Amino acid sequence: MEEQKEEVTNIKYLDTPLIKEQLTEIIQLLNIQPKELIRTNETIWKEKFKGKDMTDDELIKAMCEHPKLIERPIVIKNNKAIIGRPPEKVTEILK
């Protein structure tokens, strides 16, 4: 992104957690289900949530309460979003 001189906003949601409405909007921009945004290898997930049958709202609430569960980085541009893993995927949104 720096090489292409793209302006980006860095949302440090580990420092300032997202609220439900923000996270819901990001999930819609990503065009994924909430479960797809969860880092299932995180200890918090394994200890508190793994194996539970959770609704989308419950998953979003868990991510808001435990931002480490959110896959990162997320890049948003022109009402489109992408999870930047692997980093090469970010170029898809910059086109």
- Helix 20-30 to helix 56-65 angle, to the nearest 10 degrees? 120
Span 4-45, pLDDT tens digits:
556 666 678 888 889 999 999 999 999 999 999 999 999 999
Question: What's the CATH code, domain 20-94?
Answer: 3.40.30.10
Q: Give the pLDDT confidence score for residue 75 in this predicted structure.
A: 85
- The CA-based angle 81-87-63, given to 5 degrees, is 55
- Give first-to-last CA distance, the chain, whole Å: 11
Which residue type occupies 89? K
How many beta carbons lie within 10 A of that of residue 42, not counting itself? 17
Domain extent listing, the chain: 20-94
What pLDDT was estimated at residue 47? Answer: 97
Task: Record the pTM.
Answer: 0.84
For residue 22, the model assigns a pLDDT of 95
Q: How far apart are CA 24 and CA 80, in angstroms?
A: 14
pLDDT per residue over 43-82, tens digit each?
Answer: 999 999 999 999 999 999 999 999 999 998 888 888 888 8
